[in-house]
Copies of this chain bind each other. A is one copy, B any other.
């Protein structure tokens, strides 16, 4: 209010912030964590980033929003024929206060869907190629079928051998051949090349899908198989959530209900079908123009998508029904793509380490590096990959859902209103918080006004990690995890333990001793898994850490290290790799070599089953404490002031780690 920055409120999330005049709306949205689709990355090349500007006074906030508070529509928006009332958010620049409506398709369950196509370049070597051939008309002297003539022509003109026709082509080949010039889609990722589609005339467009089926979110990219570009992206909540929030409750649902597996399979396939229609609609193609798809997911998602009972994954020996890569006909999965479309699913690594982890490994696995690299995908289970070009080890660790805000007293999913960042003053113990969807920190100007939109509704995974870490660094939490009764009105006795009150407002959000124990269990399991793999590799430290997934994108590596989630490592070698599973899926879609690569990689990955390793339990117990043996955590000690080694109330707090 005191500068020339303008107030912009994004609906329906209500997230708001102040931006300099001239800021593109897309940048403003991104800086607030508001998801606006953008395939081209703001280069005015996809027209997917459209938003609407609400006119008039927006009462609750007193914001007067005007279309003229945006820069006038320019050449690009005319070229893309953006309809009246709509603007491309990469082109429209902020000139005054605004209320902006974002198409709400993505804002499912008020959850922030953070999966989008990463901008990696993938070499093109698609499994499905278009071939244009010319054919003579049928001759009575040579009574050979149209399909057989087409096969001969493709073999002669495009150099294939042993070509066969897919059943889906039989009924369309006559119409296609009548034109003389025929475009055929030849799928090469089979024992013999297969003609999976034919069209009359010349055709140069072919599309594929790369889908990441998450337990919470299903995200898909529509990819142009000719250029390799993702031309549309969309996501939706996994409707299986209504059968159970987490994987195990869905497995239980299947075990308890005779039709449970059918219902869950139908739910996920239905949602995928709807997303496919939306993706196709976004670029004006038919779903039937899609010729290939790659699906990745954790083992339970993978099995349910395939119509396989996931119950055996719920108990030892956690047996997969099928682990190898799968090449299937889309029609056999009931997917509304081209009738001849093919589906590829990368292999699963183990009972808890699925095709999604294999896909992460393909995109960002340790085998890409000479240095020993640790790759962690954090979810309900943490999938852990460790190694380098020479060896790759994999394990999963039962972290439980604490990192996702579950089992935490004030916990919630990452959604507007969640505390996502926490700082504790080491002297006064006063907390500062940052709320998701709200720009200013709690001690910054405008916070009180901004927070009206979202409220403070809870604390999400990154928030609880930062809270525990900061409380530890401030000495409020001892190395063994105990909350000390420091001199602060934030400390609240709770029987024989203490809470630390983080937020006082309509609701109170505190970090309880139980919360800290939950985080200790989760981070101990994650660390122990990583440490177990380090033992197997015979190493004591890792040279690089990559954090995958939505959680990995939002976690501050420093705090992850402070609480001992991840091993000690130079902070600048700890990076977020975003939706690596989605990237891996696109790689497998666009390049057959990547399919061979992931299959061979998974075969050579050394699978470590944490449940079978006594040392896992030892590491787990040791890893419950906070890391404060400074000599054992040189990189961490260099980055933060680790608390002095103390042993309050007689507890040992200076166990050596690793």
Contact = CB atoms under 8 A, between A and B. Distances in A.
Interface of A: 137-148, 151, 165, 167-168, 170-171, 173-175, 190-192, 306-309, 312, 316-324, 326, 328-329, 331-333, 348-351, 353, 607, 609, 611-612
Contact of A322 (B142, B146, B190, B332): B146
Contacts of A609: 140-141, 143
Contacts of A145: 319-324, 348
Contacts of A306: 170-171
A453 B149 CA distance: 55
A322 B170 contact: yes
B174 A312 contact: yes
A174 B143 contact: no
Nearest to A168: B332
A173 to B, nearest CB: 6
Contacts of A137: 317
Nearest to A329: B167
Contacts of A320: 143-146
A514 to B, nearest CB: 32
A317 B140 contact: yes
A148 B603 CA distance: 12
Contacts of A143: 318-320, 323, 349-351, 353, 607, 609
A333 B612 CA distance: 47
A83 to B, nearest CB: 35
Nearest to A324: B148
A58 to B, nearest CB: 52
Contacts of A144: 320, 323
A521 B341 CA distance: 50
Contact of A307 (B148, B171, B332, B351): B171
A308 B174 contact: yes
A44 to B, nearest CB: 43
| A-B residue pairs, 10 tightest by C-beta | A145-B323, A143-B350, A191-B191, A138-B319, A147-B322, A145-B320, A145-B322, A140-B317, A167-B332, A140-B609
B191 A147 contact: no
Contact of A319 (B146, B316, B326, B607): B146
Given A167-B329, A171-B321, 16 more contacts: A138-B319, A140-B318, A140-B351, A140-B612, A143-B607, A143-B609, A144-B323, A145-B319, A146-B312, A146-B319, A146-B322, A148-B323, A148-B324, A170-B326, A174-B321, A331-B332
A326 B142 CA distance: 19
Contacts of A174: 308-309, 312, 319, 321
The interface centre, meaning the residue of A165, A170, A333 with most chain B CB atoms within 10 A of its CB, is A170
Contacts of A316: 140
B171 A309 contact: yes
A171 B329 CA distance: 15
Contacts of A309: 171, 174-175
A602 to B, nearest CB: 10
A314 B262 CA distance: 45
A289 B147 CA distance: 32
A371 to B, nearest CB: 27
Nearest to A394: B143
Contacts of A192: 191
Contacts of A171: 306-309, 321
Contacts of A318: 140, 143
B350 A317 contact: no
A331 B168 CA distance: 12
A264 to B, nearest CB: 13
A167 B328 contact: yes
A105 B35 CA distance: 65
The interface centre, meaning the residue of A144, A165, A173, A331 with most chain B CB atoms within 10 A of its CB, is A144
A612 B141 contact: yes
Contacts of A350: 143
